Structure 1
Amino acid sequence: MLFAGCGIQIFQMITGIDATVYYSPTIFKNAGIESDQEILAATVAVGSSKTIFILVAIFLVDKVGRKPLLYVSTIGMTCCLFVLGIALTLPNSAFGINLAILAVCSNVAFFSVGMGPICWVLSSEIFPLRLRAQAAALGQVGGRVSSGLVSMSFLSASKVISVAGVFFVFAALSAISVLFVKVCIPETKGKTLEQIEMMFRGEKNSNRGEVEFGDAERLIPTEEK
Structure 2
Amino acid sequence: MAVGPISWFLSSELVPQRHRSQMQSICYAINTIMVVISSFSILPLYGKIGSYSFLLLYVGPSVICTSYLYKCLPETKGREIYDIVRELKGEFKHIDRKSINSNSTESE
Could you tell me how far 1:132 is from its partner in structure 2?
Answer: 1.3
Quote the Cα distance in structure 2 between the aligned partners of 1:210 and 1:121: 22
User: Corresponding residue for 2:50?
Assistant: 163
Report matched runs for 1:34-73 at 5 Å.
Answer: none
Q: Which has the higher contact order (CA 8 A, sep 6+)?
A: 1
Question: Paired residue for 2:30?
Answer: 142
What amino acid sits opposite 2:64 in the alignment? Answer: I
1:151 is displaced (CA, Å) by 1.8
Q: Which residue of 2 aligns with 1:123?
A: 11
For residue 117 of structure 1, report the CA deviation from its aligned partner: 2.2
Q: What is the identity percentage for the equivalent residue pairs of Structure 1 and Structure 2?
A: 24
Give deviations 1:89-120, integer Å, cap 9, x for gaps: xxxxxxxxxxxxxxxxxxxxxxxxxx422222
Q: Is the 8 A contact 2:12 2:20 kept in 1?
A: yes
What is the aligned residue count?
79
**Bigger CA radius of gyration:** 2
| Residue segments in structure 2 that go unaligned for 5+ positions in a row | 77-83, 94-108
Deviation of 1:134 after TM superposition, in Å, equals: 1.4
Q: Distance in 1 between matches of 2:50 and 2:65?
A: 21
Partner of 2:61: 173
**TM-score, normalising length from structure 2?**
0.54
Name structure 1 gaps, 5 residues minimum.
1-9, 13-114, 184-208, 219-225
Letter in 2 for 1:134: Q
Q: Quote the RMSD (CA, aligned, Å).
A: 2.9
Cα 1:177–1:163 change in 2 (3 A) is farther
One-letter amino acid of the structure 1 residue matched with residue 6 of structure 2: I
Cα drift, residue 210 of structure 1: 4.6
Deviation at 1:176, TM superposition (A): 1.7
